[in-house]
Amino acid sequence: MKHTKRFVIVALALMVLTTMAFAGGRPEPGVQPGAAGVDRHPEISILINESPWLGAFRQIVELYQRQTGNRVEIVGSPYGALLTRITNSLTAPESEFDIVILDEVWANQFYEGELVAALTDIDPSFSFDPGMLEYNWVTRWDHELGTNAETGKIYGVPINGNMQIMYYRKDLLADAGFDPPQTWDDVFRIAEHFYNPPSMYGMVGRATGRPDFGYQAVLHSFDGFLLRYHPETRDWEVGVNQPAALEALNLWLRLVREYSPQDYASIGQAQMISLMQSGRIPIIYTVTAAAPNFDNPAASTVVGKVGATVVPGPAPGRNAPTTGIQPFSIPANLPLARQQAALAFLKWVIQPDIQLEFGRAGGIVTRQDAWEALAQDPKFWWAQAVADSTPYARAQIRVTPGGRIFDVLEGLLRQAVAGDLTPQQTLAAADREIRSIMLDEGYRLR
């Protein structure tokens, strides 16, 4: 299955319309000026979304500039405006930016349209070392299969390794005799024990703002799937109307509704984090990026009281945390000299010692060895949970029409949460809509 570049550019256009403060005087890590691979290059410009870890990235960029003498301009953008700016830049005669940050959900549209450069086209020797986390091949794209695959070209490097982990109140669980939850049954036992509204709730879920993100962790833990590619027959299977999907949806709806505030249907990720900060829930599962919020004394009443573990499953070992990865890519519509300058930075930033410093500064690293090193420092109490989660990590949908599919799921899941649709009606409608979208985009279904 292969789409034309023209088709993807048109689709993207339609989507648009509708300082360095490391502690203790440690010697600066990484390659020193003049060393191989970090030669002098023209100034580069990086488009990145404004986020809590942007400050950490600025610190790393300052280190790069000091070590190499190469200049870097960081252009911050609100996340809501990011796709528009990227699309405009990548479809212009020459890109305004040398590096752009993408999102796991819609990066594949730029890969498929070859609007970003394959890194081996810039440097044929480029590859990832074994310490890098590739998150189910998030930056590789196989044009024949129409999805991420190990056989695909490399179109970027993961820079933000966000994934779900389970947060819990260490003090409360210990006092009540609970271990950190390993199964969904454990979660419900803990939630029921602490549920005492309005002062205390048992559990909340992400009911709005991409509710499918929370549902997918449950779905995959039951061995269900939204979409699955079958290489032997070179076709796709839609899995939302299968028994595992129904079992998962029923459980997820309990997580969202049963031990939550009365306004559970309006709770999104920000509200989940706020409830944990206020000390009003004992457990939630959400993104790794949330962890520092719980130790912020200006906003949190639970400083030093939160622990983390792998998102549970139906049984120990059947875990399936969902990823929310952001990769850096290099525009295809750049002169080679600018692409080489951009790639020099990408090679530098994924080195083990640089990733470790990025993590210490507050970044969400994309190397297993960096997470394991951070876990040795109690300040990063969530790092071991992330390191333990990576073998179980499951990707979101990564097909060209992924954005359209998630829009459909958002609407249907919100109706299910509100009780306007039964679980069976929700999944039957999702099955019809996803099939229609996939066929419309030229995918072959079984």
Residues 186 and 230 in one domain: yes
What is the band of 21 on the pLDDT scale with cuts at 50, 70, 90?
Answer: very low
Residues 106 and 179 in one domain: no
**How confident is the model over 91-107, as pLDDT tens digits?**
999 999 999 999 998 99
Instruction: Dump strand ranges (E) for 52-98.
Output: 72-77
What is the band of 232 on the pLDDT scale with cuts at 50, 70, 90?
Answer: confident
**How confident is the model over 171-218, as pLDDT tens digits?**
999 999 999 999 999 999 999 999 999 999 999 999 999 999 999 999
What is 225-268 written as a DSSP string? -SEEEETTTTEEEE-TTSHHHHHHHHHHHHHHHTTS-TTGGG--
What is the band of 34 on the pLDDT scale with cuts at 50, 70, 90?
Answer: very low
Domain count for the chain, please give it.
2
Residues 270 and 346 in one domain: no
Rounded Cα–Cα distance for residues 287 and 298 (Å): 21
Q: Round the average pLDDT of the chain to a whole number and report it.
A: 92
Any domain includes 395 = no
Residues 306 and 359 in one domain: no
Q: How high is the pLDDT of residue 33?
A: 43
Residues 376 and 311 in one domain: no
Any domain includes 153 = yes
Look up the CATH number of the domain holding residue 406: 3.40.190.10
**How confident is the model over 259-268, as pLDDT tens digits?**
999 999 999 9
Whether 423 shows a pLDDT value over 80: the answer reads yes
What is the band of 40 on the pLDDT scale with cuts at 50, 70, 90?
Answer: confident
Q: How high is the pLDDT of residue 16?
A: 46
Residue 344: CB atoms within 10 A of its CB come to: 21
Give the mean model confidence (pLDDT) for residues 162-170. 98
Least confident window among 19-28, 197-206, 244-253? 19-28
Rounded Cα–Cα distance for residues 251 and 443 (Å): 31
- Percent over 70 (pLDDT), the chain: 91
Q: How high is the pLDDT of residue 1?
A: 52
Give the mean model confidence (pLDDT) for residues 436-440. 97
Any domain includes 72 = yes
**Domain end call among 343, 364, 387:** 387
**How confident is the model over 389-399, as pLDDT tens digits?**
999 999 998 88
Instruction: Dump strand ranges (E) for 2-135.
Output: 44-49, 72-77, 99-101
Any domain includes 31 = yes
Residues 316 and 363 in one domain: no
Give the mean model confidence (pLDDT) for residues 340-346. 98
- Pull the structure tokens for residue 403: 């954005």
- Pull the structure tokens for residue 133: 């986390």
Residues 216 and 105 in one domain: no
Residues 282 and 301 in one domain: yes
Q: How high is the pLDDT of residue 27?
A: 43
- Pull the structure tokens for residue 414: 């919100």
What is 319-382 written as a DSSP string? --PBB--EEEE-BSSS-HHHHHHHHHHHHHHTSHHHHHHHHHHT----BHHHHHHHTTSGGGTT
Any domain includes 116 = yes
**How confident is the model over 114-129, as pLDDT tens digits?**
999 999 999 999 999 9
Q: How high is the pLDDT of residue 231?
A: 83
Any domain includes 393 = no
Residues 423 and 298 in one domain: yes
Any domain includes 346 = yes
pTM above 0.85, yes or no: yes
Q: How high is the pLDDT of residue 299?
A: 96
Give the mean model confidence (pLDDT) for residues 228-236. 90
Q: How high is the pLDDT of residue 252?
A: 98
What is the band of 168 on the pLDDT scale with cuts at 50, 70, 90?
Answer: very high
Residues 280 and 350 in one domain: no
Whether 23 shows a pLDDT value over 70: the answer reads no
Residues 335 and 419 in one domain: no
**How confident is the model over 296-333, as pLDDT tens digits?**
999 999 999 999 999 999 999 999 999 999 999 999 99
Residues 335 and 315 in one domain: no
- Percent over 90 (pLDDT), the chain: 87
Any domain includes 249 = yes
Q: How high is the pLDDT of residue 145?
A: 86
Please give the residue range of the domain that contains residue 193. Answer: 164-322+401-440
